[in-house]
């Protein structure tokens, strides 16, 4: 059992685009000046966590009750918060928006699992007394502890006073602890999959911190976070260990990974060797893991690199190779963007980018056959988010039969050839461990 001694709060919004990312990042920056702040992100996001990690200097971890389950959320928070003075969790979408019409995977569900106080961010532009109605509805809808309100895009002092007065006259006791004026200089550029990754923009973290400290009552933030009482839980430690080296493709083209994945691989005794398929030669490893990212933006560099031929040769030799989303495009025969680029050519398929979102949402899949990451009959939960289309050869082998989600074609996902498998689905180790993959890597090493 790991005892948790930390302060914590969750930044939620009434919906997407109300400013919760700005608030969360700003609070992380302000509090990191003199405290160890651990960031978390609700949902299957890869981009916001990159900014959180950059600001806090501690790896951000995702909390997703659909992929991880309630126990997985508790265990991840427990492990991640160890040694932190302060934990800040950024929510996803609106506070109560979950899977279909349920609370599962919602910010509210995570808040209730952890019993953490919530700060609700509301876009105040063009509203005054209506804010009181919003707060009343959100606070009474469910048993979430909404402990404070932050107004974004607030107008004059008179505008803020009107909102506070209307809340008081309506009998609402939740305090307004901050009011942020418009500040377009603190925006982050975006592209088709969301915001730019950390390091791709010149966001002034110092200016963001100053902006937050000037317009939010930081004493109230600390007081609310002090009310958090963590639940101690027993953590199951791993038993089986694998003495293998795993190559991790990690660069601007392949950058979508869960920190929990690295944690589990290392806890299983694997040595992680990070490399760039664009600029590095293939390292001497026993298996390869390629995450998602932006291969479409670097198709020319990936095609020109001799590493793709080295990976194809290793895959043909039986090395276990596992890829997710963007990695699927790279492991296929070709990728069409501004023109058609030759890719690794391991899997019998070709991909092309489109201007239309092709799939977004959670996936639940059953493995129809044995694969490098799971035996037949395994149920795996994950998510998909892509603008590409992949067209398979007629004799292509597809591993996953989807219970929900779109996948590659006809409700199927997971192309497999040799001991290589790649899918549009991003998986989480809480749903499917790396044990089978590591078994395959060990067999390859000692053959």
Give per-residue pLDDT as tens, 243-280: 999 999 999 999 999 999 999 999 999 999 999 999 99
Catalytic residue among 56, 87, 325, 392: 325
Res 379 pLDDT > 80 = yes
Domain 245-446 adopts which CATH fold? Answer: Rossmann fold (3.40.50)
Q: Quick check: 411 pLDDT over 90?
A: yes
Residue 190 above 80 pLDDT? Answer: no
State pLDDT tens for residues 336-351. 999 999 999 999 999 9
Mean pLDDT of 149-159: 95
pLDDT of residue 202: 65
Specify the pLDDT at position 80: 94
- Please return the burial class of 142, using the count of CB atoms within 10 Å of its CB with bins 0-12, 13-18 and 19+: middle
Does residue 325 have an active-site annotation?
Answer: yes
CA distance 353 to 234: 45
Where, residue-wise, is CATH 3.40.50.880 in the chain?
245-446
Share of the chain above pLDDT 70, in %: 94
- Residue 125's Cα: distance from chain center in Å? 29
pLDDT at 7: 94
For the domain 7-226, what is the CATH superfamily, name and number? P-loop containing nucleotide triphosphate hydrolases (3.40.50.300)
The CA distance from 429 to 246, in Å, is 16
Q: What is the pTM of this model?
A: 0.93
Q: Round to whole Å and give the CA distance between 289 and 311.
A: 11
Pairwise pLDDT comparison (194 vs 285), residue with the higher score: 285
pLDDT at residue 201, rounded to an integer: 62
Residue 231 confidence (pLDDT) above 60: yes
pLDDT at 389 over 80: yes
pLDDT classification of 441: cutoffs 50, 70, 90: very high
Strand order in the sheet with 245-249: 271-275, 245-249, 287-290, 321-324, 420-423, 412-417, 397-404, 359-367, 379-386, 426-427
Model confidence band, residue 1 (pLDDT cutoffs 50, 70, 90): very low
pLDDT > 60? residue 193:
no
- Tell me the pLDDT of the chain averaged across its residues: 93
- Spatial contact of 260 and 382, defined as CB atoms under 8 Å apart: no
Interval 272-331: pLDDT, tens: 999 999 999 999 999 999 999 999 999 999 999 999 999 999 999 999 999 999 999 999
Higher pLDDT, 201 or 12: 12
If you average pLDDT over residues 92-106, what whole number do you get?
A: 96
- Where do the CATH 3.40.50.300 domains begin and end in the chain? 7-226
């Amino acid at each position: 059992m790991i005892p948790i001694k930390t302060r914590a709060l969750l930044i939620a919004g009434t919906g997407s685009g109300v400013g919760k990312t700005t608030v969360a990042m700003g609070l992380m920056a302000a509090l990191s000046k003199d405290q160890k702040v651990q960031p978390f992100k609700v949902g299957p996001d890869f981009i916001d966590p990159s900014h959180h990690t950059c600001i806090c200097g501690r790896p951000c971890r995702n909390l997703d009750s659909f992929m991880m389950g309630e126990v997985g959320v508790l265990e991840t928070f427990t492990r991640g918060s160890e040694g932190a003075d302060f934990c800040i969790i950024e929510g996803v979408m609106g506070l109560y928006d979950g899977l279909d019409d349920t609370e599962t995977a919602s910010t509210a569900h995570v808040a209730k699992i952890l019993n953490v106080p919530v700060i609700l961010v509301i876009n105040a532009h063009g509203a005054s007394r209506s804010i009181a109605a919003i707060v009343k509805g959100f606070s009474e809808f469910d048993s979430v502890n909404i402990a404070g309100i932050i107004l974004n895009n607030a107008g004059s002092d008179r505008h803020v006073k009107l909102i506070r007065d209307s809340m008081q006259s309506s009998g609402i006791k939740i305090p307004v602890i901050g009011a942020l004026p418009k500040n377009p200089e603190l925006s982050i550029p975006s592209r088709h999959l969301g915001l730019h990754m950390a390091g791709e923009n010149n966001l002034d973290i110092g200016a963001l911190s100053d902006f937050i400290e000037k317009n939010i009552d930081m004493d109230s933030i600390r007081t609310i976070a002090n009310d958090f009482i963590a639940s101690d839980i027993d953590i199951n430690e791993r038993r089986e260990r694998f003495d293998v080296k795993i190559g991790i493709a990690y660069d601007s083209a392949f950058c979508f990974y869960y920190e929990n994945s690295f944690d589990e691989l290392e806890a299983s005794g694997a040595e992680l060797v990070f490399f760039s398929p664009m600029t590095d030669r293939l390292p001497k490893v026993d298996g390869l893991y390629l995450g998602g990212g932006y291969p479409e933006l670097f198709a020319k560099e990936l095609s020109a690199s001799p590493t793709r031929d080295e990976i194809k040769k290793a895959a043909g030799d039986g090395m276990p190779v596992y890829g997710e989303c963007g990695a699927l495009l790279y492991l296929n025969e070709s990728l069409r963007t501004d023109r058609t680029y030759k890719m690794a050519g391991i899997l019998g398929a070709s991909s092309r980018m489109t201007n239309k979102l092709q799939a977004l949402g959670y996936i639940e899949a059953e493995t129809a056959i044995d694969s490098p990451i799971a035996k037949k009959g395994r149920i795996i939960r994950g998510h998909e988010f892509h603008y590409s289309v992949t067209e398979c050869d007629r004799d292509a082998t597809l591993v996953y039969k989807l219970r929900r989600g779109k996948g590659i074609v006809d409700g199927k996902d997971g192309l497999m050839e040799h001991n290589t498998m790649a899918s549009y689905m991003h998986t989480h180790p809480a749903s499917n461990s790396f044990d089978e993959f590591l078994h395959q890597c060990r067999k390859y090493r000692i053959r």
